[in-house]
Structure 1
Amino acid sequence: MKEKDIFKEKAENGYIVCFADNCPLKECCLRYLVGQKMPDTTSSYHCVNPRFQDVGTTNCSLFRKAEKVKYAKGMTHLFNEDMPKRVEPYVRQHLINSHCRTYYYEFRNGERLIPPTVQEEIRQYFREAGWNGDVIFDGFVEDYEW
């Protein structure tokens, strides 16, 4: 799917958009770029409040960088026979505690993409459990941090 089609789809499906034309970050902000693809047939949409205190500044708290990041997809091969037995339950329990059981299984089965921050969190749990080997996810995809 082309990027402009992805932006149009997001705009039509409730993604919060921005129309701050005076914003210094607008050329690299997902919210602004998606807003520019808003079709004129849409009667209502979710939009950033233009009067919010930091909208239109270089410190905008609603800014989303229009840059793709590398998401991990699936972790069914994360645990292997070489690992000490204590590693798997330690990592699993910490992921469930920090996210939830549903997210853990969605991450595991590849139903929910694993953002870079969570990938690093998983690596940290492995280090805490005493595993210094590679942490191998099933695969990777690139997408925007919506």
Structure 2
Amino acid sequence: MENKELKAKDIPWGYALCFNDGCNRKDNCMHYHARLLTAQQEQFTGQAVYPTAWQNGECRCYCEKKLVRKAWGFSHLYDNVPKQKIAEARKCVRSYFSAGMGPYYRVHHGENMLTPKQQDDIMQILARFGSTDGIRFDHYETDWAFE
């Protein structure tokens, strides 16, 4: 996977920040790096990882700092679905996003991207309607995994 520098603009709004400087996993934790990058901004409140997350030598909120392959675009998603089942398959994929048509179209047009898990979930939905062999999303991009 390509090298990509994590920048403050990459951090999603409301992402929990970690202030636990004593954590032995901080060097590879997304919450800790997010806090370091936002330290220069004038932010006075927000989501945080509480000290109680640290239990039995492990942090329950640890999120590995890593790049993943995200996807967007549905132009060929239904290519293997029989014509009479496309509307039903599309409805099932849209309902996966559970908040109406907006999130579906934001992913379709690249405003939002799918995580690897979301990609797998959508392929499992499509597998109920036909083969997923050769089915791909329109675009793929390497991006940070904020979990």
TM-score interval, smaller chain: 0.7 to 0.9
Tell me the secondary structure at the aligned position of residue 143 of structure 1.
strand
Q: Contact 2:53/2:61 (CA < 8 Å) preserved in 1?
A: no
Query: 1:102–1:55: structure 2 CA closer, same or farther, 3 Å change rule?
Result: farther
Query: 1:134–1:86: structure 2 CA closer, same or farther, 3 Å change rule?
Result: farther
Matched, 1:134 2:115: no
In 2, the alpha carbon distance for the partners of 1:114 and 1:41 equals: 28
Q: Contact 1:86/1:129 (CA < 8 Å) preserved in 2?
A: no
In 1, the alpha carbon distance for the partners of 2:122 and 2:49 equals: 36
The TM-score normalised by the length of structure 2 is: 0.77
- What does residue range 44-83 of structure 1 map to in structure 2 within 5 Å? 44-54=44-54, 57-58=57-58, 60-80=59-79, 83=81
* Matched residue type, 1:35: R
Q: Deviation of residue 40 (structure 1)?
A: 4.5
Q: Deviation of residue 92 (structure 1)?
A: 1.2
Q: Deviation of residue 134 (structure 1)?
A: 1.8
Please list the CA deviations of residues 74-126 of structure 1 after superposition, one character each: whole Å capped at 9, or x if unmatched.
Answer: 1223233x641144223211122221322112222222101111111111112
In 2, the alpha carbon distance for the partners of 1:107 and 1:16 equals: 24
Query: 1:108–1:55: structure 2 CA closer, same or farther, 3 Å change rule?
Result: farther
In 2, the alpha carbon distance for the partners of 1:112 and 1:47 equals: 22
* Alignment RMSD (CA, Å): 2.7
Please list the CA deviations of residues 37-58 of structure 1 after superposition, one character each: whole Å capped at 9, or x if unmatched.
Answer: 2345625142525332436942
Mind listing any 5+ residue stretches in structure 1 that lack a counterpart?
A: none
* Aligned position for 1:91: 89
* Matched residue type, 1:142: T
- Structure 1: which 4+ aligned runs deviate by more than 6 Å? none
In 2, the alpha carbon distance for the partners of 1:115 and 1:54 equals: 27
Please list the CA deviations of residues 2-23 of structure 1 after superposition, one character each: whole Å capped at 9, or x if unmatched.
Answer: 725x1x3357965321111221
Q: Identity of paired residues, percent?
A: 23
In 2, the alpha carbon distance for the partners of 1:21 and 1:137 equals: 40
Query: 1:114–1:86: structure 2 CA closer, same or farther, 3 Å change rule?
Result: farther
Q: Contact 1:78/1:136 (CA < 8 Å) preserved in 2?
A: yes
Q: Deviation of residue 67 (structure 1)?
A: 0.0
The TM-score normalised by the length of structure 1 is: 0.78
Mind listing any 5+ residue stretches in structure 2 that lack a counterpart?
A: none
